[in-house]
Amino acid sequence: MLNTLAWIIKRDLTIALRRRTDIFTTLVFFLIVVSLFPLGIGPEADTLRLIAPGVVWVGALLASMLALEQLFSADHRDGTLEQMLLTPQPLSILVIGKVIAHWLITGLPLVIMAPLLGLQYDMSGEALQVMIISLLLGTPTLSLLGAIGAALTLGLRSGGVLVALLVLPLYIPVLIFGAGAVEATASGLGGEAHLSMLGAVLLAALVTAPIATSAALRVSAE
């Protein structure tokens, strides 16, 4: 199963590198969303520090959602998904492999870019560190939960809009705890409780999301 997992990750990363435009679209979208707020609100440092956690997290959430529609659609169109459903390995292992590849392509670059963009908001070094940790815990959760919506809307028209409607309610706790950790750290209260909740949500998603996504894929394939 580990060999299968590694093969799925390698395959999806190879395909993604051949379509770099999709990767750059996500990163540029994140850059634009986060960078426009200081231009629109003004240079007041206290205001920028106040809104920074929410802006960065909303930008990361929307950018991650932007790439969800392509998570299974290409494999569905060329028949690869049907072959995956026939493999002797558990389908949840294949789902985990595709989610890991999705996070490496979209989530990890967002985590790397976030501290640089946070400097626009005059964030402290401690707040930037907590933001990195919160994104490292939260963005994999976004990919896991988003995979459920992508599987449920597979093959449907206007799938991107439906995915957004399905996964946004699931994303709200991640957004609250992620932005709350940074806000609590910036105000001197400490963000450990929020980070613990993010870790708990990630563990719950790791257990339940692959199973739910596998069931949704089987229904969509039929």
Q: Which residues of the chain have pLDDT under 70?
A: 1, 155-160, 221-222
pLDDT at 64: 85
What's the confidence (pLDDT) of residue 201?
93
- CB-CB contact of 129 with 181 (8 Å): no
CB 72 within 8 A of CB 150: yes
pTM for this one?
Answer: 0.86
pLDDT of residue 140: 92
**What 3-state DSSP class applies to 123?**
coil
**DSSP letter string, 52-110:** HHHHHHHHHHHHHHHTTTHHHHHHHHHTHHHHHHTSSS-HHHHHHHHHHHHIIIIIHHH
Residue 205 has a pLDDT of: 92
Contacts of 126 (CB under 8 A, 6+ apart): 185, 186
In three-state form (DSSP H/G/I as H, E/B as E, the rest C), the secondary structure along 190-211 is CCHHHHHHHHHHHHHHHHHHHH
Predicted local confidence at residue 222, as pLDDT: 66
Q: What is the tally of structural domains in the chain?
A: 1
Residue 211's domain spans which residues? 2-221
- pLDDT at residue 62 in the model: 87
CA distance 171 to 92: 21
**What pLDDT does 160 receive?**
65
